[in-house]
Amino acid sequence: MAEAIKNKGHLAHAGHGSHGGDHGHGHDHHDQEEMKTFGFWLFLITDVILFGTLFATYVVLRNNFAGGPLGSDLIEMSGIIASTFILLTSSFTSGIALLEMNKGNKKGLITWLIITALLGASFIYLEVNEFIHLVHEGANIGTSAYWSAFFTLVGTHGLHVTVGLVWMTAIILQIRRRGITPVTKRKVNIISLYWHFLDVVWIFVFTIVYLMGVM
Amino acid sequence: MRRNYRMLAAGLFLAMVFLLSGCSEQYIVLDPKGPIGQSQKDLIIISTVLCAVIIVPVLIMTAVIVWRYRDRPGSKAKYKPNWEHNTKLEVTWWSIPIVIIIILAAVTINYTYKLEPSRAIESEKAPITIQVTSMDWKWLFKYPGEDIATVNYVKFPEDRPVRFQLTSDTAMNSFWIPQLGGQLYSMSGMAMTLYLQADEQGSYYGSGANFNGKDFAQMTFKADAVSQEEYDAWIQEVKKDAPALTMDGYKELQKPGRSDVQLFSSFPEGLFEQIVTQYVEEGSTGAHAHHGASSDTSKNEGSSKNNDSETNTADASDQHNGHAGH
Amino acid sequence: MWDKIKDFSSEFFVTGDPLILGAQVSIAITMVAIVFILTYFKKWRWLWTEWLTSVDHKKIGIMYIIASILMLFRGGVDALLMRMQLAVPQVEFLNAEHYNAIFTTHGVIMILFMAMPLMFGLFNIVVPLQIGARDVAFPFLNSLSFWMFFFGAMLFNVSFVIGGSPDAGWLAYPPLSGLSGSPGVGQDFYIWGIQISGIGSLATGINFIVTILKMRAPGMKLMKMPMFTWSVLSSCTTIIFAFPILTVTLFLLFIDRYLGAHFFTLDGGGNPMMYINLIWMWGHPEVYIVILPAFGIFSEIVSAFSKKKLFGYKSMVFALMSISFFSFFTWAHHFFTMGSGANVNAFFAVTTMLIAIPTGVKVFNWLFTMYRGKLSFPTPMMWTIAFIPCFVIGGMTGVLLSVAPADFQFHNSYFLIAHFHQVLIGGVVFGYFAGLYYWWPKMFGFKLHEGLGKWAFWFWNIGFYVCFMPQYALGLMGMTRRFNEYNFDMGWQPLNVVSTVGGFLMGIAFLFQVWQIAHSIKFYKKEKTGDTWDGRTLEWSIPSPAPMYNFARIPVVTEQDDWWEKKQRRLRGEADPPEVAQAEQAPLEPIHMPRNSGVPFVMSSFWFIAGFGFVWDWKWMIVLGLGGVIVSMLVRSFTYNTDYYIPVEEVERTEAAARGAH
């Protein structure tokens, strides 16, 4: 396997294998998969800033109901708590998927990824339902600044989860076809990182938007 | 050598600039006629001198170094290709700018509080209040004490503080009479306070300084400072001769377009407050109509201003109709 | 039917102005000519395989630079049109609407579609060569970044002939830029053009951080990196923290306009002042994003042409990083006059002044790099030396502007305009020109004609001072920016005429540069050594232009300015350290390279389609565009055959051809 990583990895420095051992600098072994994971961490930083900005706008506009309905009037916490549990569980199942992958269990990996994706899909289903409910109750994105900020922040998180679902499906198909290779391994690692990240963001959404804003 | 030509060119050029522009009276920012403008001019001079203390030697040093160390046959200048570090020197030029910036920062902080625009000017005379509204694309001035209104023209007595209250009926603008003092934004849904005073009589140039759409360039006005007697006489004259500004007349003014100077003998009561609070839902508690710029929480207030606000439907549709024009 | 088409096209195309009609006709003719030439010379395939699908960082860099020079032309024409109007305000050469559109597009194009891509072009060409790498970390993503920028820029530019240009200022403050203030499609072109290219910029930021941190040649510790690479690292770090804010801000403005949300509206509880804060939280770091690499370029050049080590390397690194950090805490100095209160103004005034300290230190270090050096003055060095006084004066006026209470008198006046043009032209443009002249031989294998370059240099410099020094004076005379006319007697006209003359001098300078490039191509003289300027860093150790794999053998680095030290050792007749010698004599191995891909081009054109659909609110087009984007992403995800090996024989052949030219 180490050999496989080497072959896949040395995009930039195919030549240095021969002298790599001679001087032992830490950043000598920059293999491609490791770099992609590092790049993804940087992407997550930008996503943190993105959500941070959305949270900031939400906080600035949180009391601007403009005479329209208040958040606490319309939002039903029971559904939110249920979807929170679903998302947290999916984070857990994606962790199990990772463990299965590290054991080399392709079937287990695929099964747990599918469970994760299904949980994610039900989260999205609940969120869409919630939005439809709110719109029926008379709160849409144009109702007031509060609702603009609410729908945008929560919706952006939902959009991230949706993108994650499409991506996860694509990865499941790739694992089925190719098995556990350094490349698919890296892909699973990255999507699970992404999934945990969305979970963390949701905890902030839950706390700031729902707990502090509604209750 | 080339450098020297260049410096010479720049120097000549600067000289030309000042010659071309003729008398210094045209530099209205540097020819203030009121206490605020005067302090700001002082500050400009202090900060320029402080910066020049460091800039001028650097410019000279640049010229000297470039000249002396140019590569030429038989050069006697030292050449030390590996000389790349000298703690003493580096500490020196970290310290020089630090010291200058500390001094400048101290001066700036001091003046920032002193020249806070909403801070009243000390005077034996009571200030006169003028409510200023930037519109598409004209300035509306209302004198709540005297109950007159003007468009694109403002007059006030000399030697007496003027308390301008600024708001906007549309996009943001910036109210600026350079010879009296610096500008302040006029923003919808807020009333900002700017104190200015003219120490001598004169006719001063005023303008909108922040772009707000098509005919932005037409938003200039004249600000006349006159004697108290002349001012009182003018008020009487306007009251006698000019038409009244009605609510319909105001709707007419709201239509986007330029305007000549207009005078009105009266205006609908509470018009300014209405403009400021037009986005606040009726009956809500969110109307901080007169919060000034006095505290650092004013921006929060500004947003909380809009907090409970909802569009007054009639006003809002007017607003949109008005905009449809351009 | 015909009437319907006529109605549609009168709304779709910008009509009724001879200037714009002329532009439309000339654009159409140019496009036909390009298609004809490509077809006649059977160059379509070449264009597709060699350029449009290329993931080679050098080619991507060249495409960035070509695009940015075109944009410089467009932005420059905008500037000259404005200057003409201001020289003769009595004549309505441009009416208010045109003038507003032109200053808006001038600002956006110069910052986002000229300075940024020119900067990315230099990043691309230089960074991998300077750190001894064979490409950037993510070559595919790099190509995607370029095409996102390119199609974003095209989407923005197309508004000139289709639908109407945005005209709410380059940062588009609402409510003026909202639906109430700008009901037309121009503002939507603005949003989507910037948004699409902004995603590309963000990706480039990530790409180069990983490249620099993970792909340096063995032995190149962080504190041995060339200063330009350091400046790229600091600039990219700033990018990844600043650009997401822009993305969100424009996105919110868009949903205000498109879905009737109330983020920045006056009614419904919106807060326009929040937009001004947000856009400057990106906007201020943005100016440091473009200036920091210029600092890096000057550091390289000043050291190379003084034949001396860069003075105060550690100070320089520390200064770069602290500028990048502080740039996030100064945004409110762009609106001291908002009345945020004395505490806020005092805080932001002081943070702004703090930035002057590391910047000043850098100037001293450049001066002391020259001190006890041996200075020569080819064009890159001339731009560098011209930069110092220009930037020092521009920096000083910047400090004056940071004095909050004084700024109440400078704000939005021509004093401000003169200041930021002085730092952006004197700093950024001079810097990138210096870099272009310096690395041109590395890109193309020939030098640019020095004589014509000097003409261009003098016209640029004299033109600059003639154009912008009067504007400081105009600011003190109370002239506000964004006036298209001034009908009153304020004595502004003479200086405006002078300024316009200066603008045209810079226009002539640009023509000299075009001539210079054409002349140098016509009288092509191969630059054989690969080390045009007796350089100091790794990029000069390989042939010019660099072979596609850059380094046949990855070098082992032992020193800062490694190539220079190596040459010095050889002059002194010393042997290389064993690890260096061993790396150099190691047998060649097959070189692992990324495969070209058409996906970035296709995916970005789908973004263009989606953006265009959003602008006109054509649902089918939005679906088509976004659908295409998703499919492109999946295609890429399922592609595993993304790389190949260059066999040893081919490397040997390429090296022999390049070295044989000695």
- The mean pLDDT of B237-241, rounded to a whole number, is 94
Cβ of residue C586 closer than 8 Å to a chain B Cβ: no
pLDDT band at B292 (very low <50, low <70, confident <90, very high): very low
Say if the Cβ atoms of B85 and C393 lie within 8 Å.
no
If asked whether residues B154 and B41 sit together in one domain, one would say: no
pLDDT for residue B6:
58
Phi and psi angles of residue C607, each rounded to the nearest 5 degrees, phi first: -60, -40
Block residue for tokens 């105060």: C312
The whole-model pTM stands at: 0.91
**Domain end marker among B114, B149, B177:** B114
**CB–CB of C467/C503 below 8 Å?**
yes
Does B76 reside within a domain? no
If asked whether residues B193 and B257 sit together in one domain, one would say: yes
* pLDDT of residue B304 exceeding 50: no
Say if the Cβ atoms of A66 and B304 lie within 8 Å.
no
Does B79 reside within a domain? no
Does C559 reside within a domain? no
Structure tokens at C1: 């039917």
Cβ of residue C179 closer than 8 Å to a chain A Cβ: no
* pLDDT of residue C240 exceeding 80: yes
If asked whether residues B21 and B98 sit together in one domain, one would say: yes
Task: Please report, as a single letter, which amino acid is at residue C311.
Answer: F
Does C324 reside within a domain? yes
Beta strands B181-186 and B173-177 are antiparallel
**CB–CB of C293/C287 below 8 Å?**
no
The dihedral of CA C643, C648, C651, C657: what is its sign? negative
Does C300 reside within a domain? yes
pLDDT for residue B298:
36
Read off the pLDDT of residues B95-137 as tens digits, 9 standing for 90 and up: 999 999 999 999 999 999 999 999 999 999 999 999 999 999 9
Give this complex's ipTM. 0.94
Read off the pLDDT of residues A144-193 as tens digits, 9 standing for 90 and up: 999 999 999 999 999 999 999 999 999 999 999 999 999 999 999 999 99
Does B194 reside within a domain? yes
Read off the pLDDT of residues C141-157 as tens digits, 9 standing for 90 and up: 999 999 999 999 999 99
Does C321 reside within a domain? yes
pLDDT band at C16 (very low <50, low <70, confident <90, very high): low
Given B28, B107, B116, which is nearest C477 (Cβ)? B28
What domain range is C281 assigned to? Answer: 43-551
- The mean pLDDT of C98-126, rounded to a whole number, is 96
| Least Cα separation, residue C261 to chain A (angstroms) | 4
pLDDT band at C90 (very low <50, low <70, confident <90, very high): confident
- The mean pLDDT of C356-374, rounded to a whole number, is 94
Cβ of residue B321 closer than 8 Å to a chain A Cβ: no
Residues 6+ apart with CB under 8 A from A48: none
Kindly give the residue spans of alpha helices, DSSP state H, lying in C41-138: 44-46, 57-87, 96-108, 116-131
**Residue C513, domain CATH:** 1.20.210.10
Question: Degrees (nearest 5) of the Cα angle C620, C624, C630?
Answer: 145
Residues 6+ apart with CB under 8 A from B130: B141, B142, B143, B154, B156, B162, B163, B164, B165
Measured distance CA(C548)–CA(C65) in Å, rounded: 18
Does C16 reside within a domain? no
Nearest residue on chain B to C394, alpha-carbon basis: B55
Element (DSSP H or E) covering residue B57: helix B35-68
DSSP lists the bridge partners of residue B222 as B153, B205
Residues 6+ apart with CB under 8 A from B207: B176, B219, B220, B221, C478, C480
Does C534 reside within a domain? yes
**Residue B257, domain CATH:** 2.60.40.420
pLDDT band at C571 (very low <50, low <70, confident <90, very high): very high
User: Please, which chains are in contact with B (at least 3 CB pairs closer than 8 A)?
Assistant: A, C
Does B119 reside within a domain? no
What domain range is B320 assigned to? Answer: 128-325
- The mean pLDDT of B5-33, rounded to a whole number, is 67
Does C387 reside within a domain? yes
DSSP lists the bridge partners of residue B208 as B175
DSSP lists the bridge partners of residue B70 as C375
* pLDDT of residue A57 exceeding 80: yes
Element (DSSP H or E) covering residue A173: helix A145-178
If asked whether residues B157 and B102 sit together in one domain, one would say: no
pLDDT for residue B303:
38
Read off the pLDDT of residues C257-305 as tens digits, 9 standing for 90 and up: 999 999 999 999 999 999 999 999 999 999 999 999 999 999 999 999 9
State the total domains in chain B.
Answer: 2
Residue with more model confidence, C659 or C526: C526
* pLDDT of residue B65 exceeding 80: yes
Mean pLDDT rounded to a whole number for chain C = 94
State the total domains in chain C.
Answer: 1
If asked whether residues B266 and B143 sit together in one domain, one would say: yes
Question: Where do the domains of chain A lie, and which CATH numbers do they carry?
Answer: 52-214 (1.20.120.80)
Residues of B in contact with C313 (CB under 8 A): 84-85
Residue A143, CA atoms < 13 Å, CB-side half-sphere = 21
> Which of B297, B301, B306, B315 to substitute to test the interface with A, most A CBs within 10 Å?
B306
Measured distance CA(C239)–CA(C462) in Å, rounded: 33
Give the count of Cβ contacts less than 8 A between chain B and C: 333
Element (DSSP H or E) covering residue B203: strand B202-208
Does B250 reside within a domain? yes
Cβ of residue B311 closer than 8 Å to a chain A Cβ: yes
Task: Please report, as a single letter, which amino acid is at residue A72.
Answer: S
Measured distance CA(C182)–CA(C62) in Å, rounded: 37
pLDDT for residue C326:
95
Does B123 reside within a domain? no
Structure tokens at B45: 């001079």
